[in-house]
Amino acid sequence: MTEFLMHYLDQIPLSLAVIAALTLGLAPFLPEPHIWEKLRMLAAGTLTRPLDIFDLLFHALPWLILAAKLARMALSRG
């Protein structure tokens, strides 16, 4: 299973991961990015509605994929 996920992660171009993180990960940009709003709610303990939890996961996923891709690239070079 892990091998399958790593193979899939390797198939995602780095440029696509960066663009997804900067667009979907930060959207909407005004008045503040949703990811920032949801992280503040999480820190304050007010992230309780299922829709807000889904929204946090939805906007965090591109950042998590980018972080995993960068970590995998760094580990494969070392």
pLDDT of residue 1: 79
**What string of pLDDT tens digits covers the 78 residues of the chain?**
788 888 899 999 999 999 999 999 888 888 888 899 999 999 999 999 999 999 999 999 999 999 999 999 998 886
The count of other CB atoms within 10 Å of the CB of residue 9 is 15
The count of other CB atoms within 10 Å of the CB of residue 20 is 16
pTM given for the model = 0.85
Annotate the chain with DSSP letters as a single string: -HHHHHHHHHHS-HHHHHHHHHHTTT-S-SSS-HHHHHHHHHHHT---SHHHHHHHHHHHHHHHHHHHHHHHHHHHH-
pLDDT of residue 61: 95
End-to-end CA gap in the chain: 24
